Amino acid sequence: MRMRNLKKEATDVRPEKPLKTLKSIFGFMKGYVWHIVLALLAGLVNVGAMLGGNVFLRQSLDVIENFVSGNASATESMALLGQNVGIMLAIYLAGALGGFVSMRLLLTVSTGTLYSVRTQMFEKMERLPVAYFDKRTHGEIMSRYTTDTDALREMISNGIPNIVSSLLTIVGVFTLMMVYSPMLTLFVVAMLIVMIAAVGIIGGKGAKYFILQQAGIAKANGYIEEYVEGQKVVQVFCHEKQTIEGFREINGKLCMAETSAQTFAQILMPVMGNLSYVNYVITAIAGALLIASGHLEGGAPLLISFLTLSRQFSMPLTQISQQFNGVMTALAGAERILKLFDEPEESDTGYVTLVNAAEDENGTITESAERTGRWAWKHYHRATDTTTYVPWRGEVEFENVSFGYEPGKPVLKNVSFVANPGSKIALVGSTGAGKTTITNLLNRFYDIDEGKIRYDGINIGKIAKDDLRRSMAMVLQDVHLFTGSVADNIRYGRNEATLEEVKAAATLANAAPFIEKLENGYDTVLTADGVNLSQGQRQLLSIARAAVADPPVLVLDEATSSIDTRTEALIEQGMDRLMQGRTVFIIAHRLSTVRNADCILLIEGGEIIERGSHDELVALKGRYYKLYTGAFELS
């Protein structure tokens, strides 16, 4: 059944646009035109040396025949043979040098091209919207950088050079064979047609499975990475058996695809090899008959040289068949890479920017080149060709906002609220109610379907995304620490922050005590996402990172959900200082963390069902009251 399903999948798989893909690959090589030209010239020298060697081989055989038949003396024959051997050695040395130069130049082309491809892939990835990463596993994305680029490297460094070299050899050998004997060449051409048909039939079927193999590797990588990251959860809930069964199914399909792909690849080589021997035998018999009938001028020496050429003619065809499946694999990987390049980038039509502001004694706001601790929105008005500066106040307004990640499946429905400057807004509700979605829309990770979001009275669609996101910092439940020192990880919030500012931020977040106890303090290098730190310590570094950014708006998304009560108490003072004078959005399951919020929004089913301060909502004795008293629990 599994094999039948795999055959059906393979039947449906076709290289979508192989010629367009090849054209795109060559587009990456445009900076290496002269390398390619010189490599081709060196390749021609290599092929020319092979043909020249054959010509002098025939001449040497003629010398031997003349000596045996008594038409030349031994001294004369030995002199001619010595001369021919010397010339042949020089020719073959030139050919070897040409082959080395060609392969070395093409190696430069392949490594340089892959450098360009990987760089452009990474740059493209950085310009993609968050939605792209939400819909794909990390392993699937990583396979573009590993499996697909490796296949592409193999094609550029070996596949294409060998194919080009083989084609040059075929053309050169065919030309020389036509000079030697057009009649014998017809036998070789007839067998060539059979060999090309074999490559087309066998290679074409194998190509489908090579494409399935690439897709299977990506899927397996994604599954492995997902469960490596979640191994602790797997073991806690005793899901080892189900996890193994899931991987067996994915790995089984990959195994079947690899087996089928390699089966066709292994079939192709013996078929091509035996057809080349058949061609050799037929050509030898035909040549002997032509000599016997007096229709082949040059006799045995010409036939021997021609048979050598026929073997040299078959070998490139065998090499092309060897590279065929590798090229198909690379094209499949290249198509996946090109699809990444075709992904729509995050668009940004915003033109309002956030700048450091200074205010004179008359209250006039101007832009400052230095950090002043005050911000303003720089708003250029095209109609009047004027620029105004709007003081940053931190006012956020949602007006009848509706949004869904998928069409027809709304997550937020007509949400409206106002976050006054310097206020603390708490978002409370069940998982999936839409709390995090609100902050995603505020950051413009996603754009709303209906309604308006205003930031200090400015439609956020007019604000440049970089400036919008620079105006706020987020502390997430899932902390990600990068490989580097503790100071570098804190400084990630603001690259230009000095060490003193880093230490001040760590002190503000109450992270300084544990940092100073580390072996190298702020210079301690963190690896593997800070695996040697506790969850609480990692979260404290995340809060310090937000503190060093000194943001006008702060978003705390379940920031203390993974921290124990004692650690939570340690950061409360620092968090209070950090939130002072800023607009803060707090997403939390623990109602104890939102009691001091200026406004609590209770969200269920994408709608705000209750709003008010803690005391107001308790007095209302509605859903929030039941949550607070324990009569009802958040799911």
For residue range 439-458, list pLDDT tens digits in order: 889 989 899 999 999 999 99
**Mean pLDDT (the chain, rounded):** 80
Query: What is the CATH code for 2-342?
Result: 1.20.1560.10
- The answer to whether residues 117 and 32 touch, using CB atoms and an 8 Å cutoff, is no
Is 80 exceeded by the pLDDT of residue 34? yes
φ, ψ of residue 370 in degrees (nearest 5): -110, 160
Q: What is the pLDDT of residue 626?
A: 84
Q: What is the pLDDT of residue 503?
A: 92
Amino acid at 188: V
pLDDT in tens, 237-262: 566 787 788 888 888 888 887 777 77
Six token digits for residue 237: 């809930």
What residue has token string 């060709």? 385
pLDDT in tens, 398-419: 999 999 998 888 999 999 999 9
Q: What is the pLDDT of residue 552?
A: 78
Is 70 exceeded by the pLDDT of residue 496? yes
- 3-class secondary structure per residue, 558-613: CCCCCCCHHHHHHHHHHHHHHHCCCEEEEECCCHHHCCCCCEEEEEECCEEEEEEC
Per DSSP, what are the bridge partners of residue 403?
412
Give the pTM: 0.70
Going by pLDDT thresholds of 50, 70 and 90, the confidence category of residue 11 is very low
Is 70 exceeded by the pLDDT of residue 156? yes
**What are the extents of the domains in the chain?**
2-342, 353-391, 403-629
Q: What is the pLDDT of residue 116?
A: 87
Structural class in CATH, domain 403-629: alpha beta
What percentage of the chain reaches a pLDDT higher than 90? Answer: 12
Three-class SS of residue 510? coil
Six token digits for residue 184: 């014998």
Q: What is the CA radius of gyration of the chain?
A: 36
Is 80 exceeded by the pLDDT of residue 520? yes
- Distance in angstroms (rounded) separating the CA atoms of residues 109 and 130: 34
Is 70 exceeded by the pLDDT of residue 633? no
Two domains, one topology: 2-342 and 403-629? no
